[in-house]
Structure 1
Amino acid sequence: MLDIQGLVISLADSDARQKKVKSELDKTALNWRFLDAVRGSALSSIPKEYQPRKVKKLLGFELTPNELGCFLSHKKAWQDCVDKNISTIIFEDDFCLLPHFERAIHFLVNECSNWDAVRLQGLSDVPQEHIQGNGEFALVKNAGDAVGATAYLLKPRAAQVLLNASCDIYEPLDHFLEHRQKHHLEFLAISPYPVDITGVETTIADRPGRLPIRGWGKLKRSVMRVFDRWFSTNPWFPK
């Protein structure tokens, strides 16, 4: 796989996870390496991209330190993709490869050209619109948010789009990836997915006990978003 690289986002001291990752990826021809994750709980100051008060008004809650670290970690991976100017598979370190992984990537790289970003894993089943296929795999458009960011493939121009659109961090990373109204990037998917999750608890993102925003809180959030669209030159939740 000379035309792509793999980056595995992982905390520096996650020895057991990294051992499992190595056993998975060393079975493939993918050129890959670890990328040190940002430990959100160890941040000594609030990142310039994050405005907690505004986030709470427009999102309804603040991001957890781990969610913030997760987003910053993926931004590091996007920047690496741009700097190296090579298509990149970005993994979180809780993945497992399915037997058809290399054939699926070969299909995307060698048989498809009409994509910039492709989801390789999803937590939820959603309806899919067929775009292109070869009988074994299909490039599809998900009609809904499949949730998760365990594995996805980006071309450098797509990574730059995501960097440009994430000057402000105000929602969980997996939601941002599907936020097309914000970044205008068509995030496609491959069917069947070639990557799954191991099921172990994540170390770079969490949402403990978070309940949906309802009632007065939801109404207040909607009003604040309307004001943001009216008065901001770069609204967070454009229509």
Structure 2
Amino acid sequence: MKTQAMIIHLARATARRAQVAAMQERLPLPAEVVDAVDGQQLAELQKHAYQPRLSQPRYPFELRLSEIAVFHSHRRCWQRIVDQGLDAALILEDDLQFDADIFPPALSLALDHLRPGDFIRLPIKERGTPVEVIASNGPARLLAYDRVGLGMQAQLVSRGAAEALLAASEQFDRPVDDFVQMQWLHGARVLTVWPSGVQEVSGDLGGSLNSRKTGGFEKLRREILRPIYRHRMARRAAQYQNASRQG
């Protein structure tokens, strides 16, 4: 299987260059650095790809330029999978480290059981409830969850999934991890390996580059609207899973 890793790295984040080099050295796959789309330098066409209120359930917040850029960075990786004729790519953020005991069997499990059209998450936190154990390797289990968790730190993306995600995201209305949750929209099968052995070290590198600063009113608004949105997404995910089982 033709597979490689892609590390998304923002060129102006010079403090992370040593971290990127360390990741390339430690990964068991050949790894290329993919230039992240810079939210401070978005082209007009990239800005216009963001179209609020496209899909149900409605996403209740306006995207920041940095969130639009993150989505385009992942689309860039999905496009590279297709253009390079890869069977799959391990797409990574640039602020990760890997547990030497857990990550190798977790990645092997994902690679061994990847099917065309699969998107396999290797998250830093477990979210949701497992509904099916598909396979295991040592401590790692390949799982289907009641709903797809948030976070895009590490994922193994097949070419079929990349094609489906690209086709469904020419325009988008929410952050990329919220979009991936919408299996009913893009059609890729999303699974999770847990534990993954993937750890985030952004705090040691100066913090996240995509942090949000909000005033009191906006913070209150988000605290009210976020659980409503998550409830609607969970209900839609349950409907999708029920229909999939019956089909």
TM-score interval (norm. to shorter): 0.7 to 0.9
Q: CA distance change for structure 1 residues 118 and 44 in 2, over 3 Å: closer, same or farther?
A: closer
Once residues 97 and 36 of structure 2 are traced to their aligned partners in structure 1, the CA distance between those partners, rounded to angstroms, is: 19
Equivalent of 2:197, from 194, 197, 200? Answer: 194
| CA displacement at 1:114 relative to structure 2 | 4.1
Could you list the runs of 4 or more consecutive aligned residues of structure 1 that deviate by over 4 angstroms after TM superposition? 52-55
* 1:76-87 correspondence runs (5 A): 76-86=76-86, 87=88
The Cα offsets for residues 12-31 of structure 1, whole Å up to 9 and x where unpaired, read as: 12222121121133023310
Once residues 104 and 117 of structure 1 are traced to their aligned partners in structure 2, the CA distance between those partners, rounded to angstroms, is: 14
- Give the equivalent residue in structure 1 for 2:169: 166
The Cα offsets for residues 90-129 of structure 1, whole Å up to 9 and x where unpaired, read as: 111121112132332222223x244611001143432223
Once residues 117 and 42 of structure 1 are traced to their aligned partners in structure 2, the CA distance between those partners, rounded to angstroms, is: 29
- Give the equivalent residue in structure 1 for 2:159: 156
Q: TM-score, normalised by structure 1?
A: 0.79
Matched letter for residue 171 of structure 1: R
What SS does structure 2 have at the residue aligned with 1:189? strand
- Give the equivalent residue in structure 1 for 2:107: 105
- Give the equivalent residue in structure 2 for 1:226: none
The Cα offsets for residues 142-189 of structure 1, whole Å up to 9 and x where unpaired, read as: 223432101100111110000001011110111111111211222101
The Cα offsets for residues 176-220 of structure 1, whole Å up to 9 and x where unpaired, read as: 1111121122210112113121143222x3443351454xxx79x
Q: TM-score, normalised by structure 2?
A: 0.77
Q: CA distance change for structure 1 residues 146 and 54 in 2, over 3 Å: closer, same or farther?
A: closer
- Give the equivalent residue in structure 2 for 1:127: 129
- Give the equivalent residue in structure 1 for 2:2: 3
Q: CA distance change for structure 1 residues 124 and 28 in 2, over 3 Å: closer, same or farther?
A: closer
* Preserved CA contact (<8 Å) 2:81 2:89: yes
Q: CA distance change for structure 1 residues 181 and 104 in 2, over 3 Å: closer, same or farther?
A: same
- Give the equivalent residue in structure 1 for 2:90: 89
- Which structure shows the higher helix fraction? 2
Once residues 30 and 177 of structure 2 are traced to their aligned partners in structure 1, the CA distance between those partners, rounded to angstroms, is: 25
Once residues 28 and 160 of structure 1 are traced to their aligned partners in structure 2, the CA distance between those partners, rounded to angstroms, is: 25
The Cα offsets for residues 13-58 of structure 1, whole Å up to 9 and x where unpaired, read as: 2222121121133023310011111111222525231235869x94
What SS does structure 2 have at the residue aligned with 1:188? strand
Gaps of 5+ in 2: 233-247
Once residues 95 and 135 of structure 1 are traced to their aligned partners in structure 2, the CA distance between those partners, rounded to angstroms, is: 22
Once residues 169 and 134 of structure 1 are traced to their aligned partners in structure 2, the CA distance between those partners, rounded to angstroms, is: 36
Gaps of 5+ in 1: 223-239
Between the aligned residues of both structures, percent identity stands at 28
- Give the equivalent residue in structure 1 for 2:36: 37
Matched letter for residue 197 of structure 1: E
Once residues 53 and 150 of structure 2 are traced to their aligned partners in structure 1, the CA distance between those partners, rounded to angstroms, is: 26
* Preserved CA contact (<8 Å) 1:124 1:145: no
Once residues 168 and 212 of structure 2 are traced to their aligned partners in structure 1, the CA distance between those partners, rounded to angstroms, is: 23
* 1:18-97 correspondence runs (5 A): 18-45=17-44, 47=46, 48-52=48-52, 58-86=58-86, 87-97=88-98
- For the aligned residues, what is the CA RMSD? 2.7
Once residues 18 and 145 of structure 2 are traced to their aligned partners in structure 1, the CA distance between those partners, rounded to angstroms, is: 33
What SS does structure 2 have at the residue aligned with 1:59? coil
* Preserved CA contact (<8 Å) 1:124 1:147: no
Once residues 164 and 44 of structure 1 are traced to their aligned partners in structure 2, the CA distance between those partners, rounded to angstroms, is: 20
Corresponding position: 1:185 with 2:188:
yes
Number of matched pairs: 214
- Give the equivalent residue in structure 2 for 1:235: none
Equivalent of 1:208, from 209, 213, 231? Answer: 213
Q: Name the stretch that deviates more: 140-149 or 156-165.
A: 140-149
